[in-house]
Amino acid sequence: MRGINLSELAVKHRAVTLFLIIAILAAGSSRSANWGAPKTPPSPSR
């Protein structure tokens, strides 16, 4: 039984591979841009 060879697929379909890499990087950078401190600090409970 022969499995999927990802290296061979990446070499044969360079445009798709490049698109997927760019899409994953863009998604990751947009998600990490929202990691900052919360916009409003929590109000103290009394």
Residues belonging to the chain: 46
What pLDDT sits at residue 22? 97
**Alpha carbon distance 8, 25 (integer Å):** 22
What pLDDT sits at residue 29? 86
| Global pTM value | 0.60
What pLDDT sits at residue 37? 62
* Contact in structure between 19 and 13 (CB atoms under 8 Å): no
**Alpha carbon distance 44, 27 (integer Å):** 35
What pLDDT sits at residue 30? 83
Number of DSSP helices (H) and strands (E) in the chain, helices first? 2, 0
What pLDDT sits at residue 44? 80
pLDDT, one tens digit per residue, over 1-38 is: 588 898 999 999 999 999 999 999 999 888 877 676 66
Positive or negative, the CA dihedral 15, 16, 21, 27 is positive
What pLDDT sits at residue 1? 56
Q: What are the domain boundaries of the chain?
A: 1-31
